[in-house]
Amino acid sequence: MEVVRLENRPEGAKFEEVRDLVSGARGKTVYETGDIDAGIWSAGITVGLIHDIPSCKDLCANFERDAEQHINRLSQLVAQKGSSSAGRPSKL
């Protein structure tokens, strides 16, 4: 926020004024301490996939449920094939 404020001034900002703010040292503190207000940090594009913040118990239950659904779906695909193109039973 401080960098944006400096850059939005009518005279703009010189690199010397923002160097310490954008050097990465403050960002490192964010990752080390968890204080998201300590500096600049990034979350990446996967942040768009987050729709809730479950408890650890619910997160593990969701992983288990999703894994079972994927395994069942994949096993149905294998079962539908039934045999290989040579007419032999599939080893899957």
Nearest to 75 by CA among 85, 64, 90: 90
Asked if 39 and 27 count as a contact pair (C-beta separation under 8 A), the reply is: yes
- Say yes or no: 7 and 33 in one domain: yes
- Say yes or no: 65 and 25 in one domain: no
Would you say residue 92 lies in a domain? no
Per-residue pLDDT of the chain (92 residues; tens, 9 = 90+): 888 899 999 999 999 999 888 888 878 888 899 998 887 788 889 889 999 999 999 999 999 999 999 999 998 888 776 655 555 666 65
Asked if 7 and 14 count as a contact pair (C-beta separation under 8 A), the reply is: no
pTM above 0.75, yes or no: no
What does the block give as tokens for 42?
């990034």
What is the spatial distance between Cα 89 and Cα 86, in angstroms, rounded to a whole number?
Answer: 9
- Say yes or no: 41 and 57 in one domain: no
- Say yes or no: 6 and 18 in one domain: yes
Task: Count the domains in the chain.
Answer: 2
Phi-psi category of residue 12: left, alpha or beta, with phi > 0 → left and psi -120 to 50 → alpha: left
Would you say residue 86 lies in a domain? no
Domain membership of residue 11 as a residue range: 1-50
CA–CA distances in Å: residue 34 to residues 10, 11, 63, 67: 34, 34, 25, 30
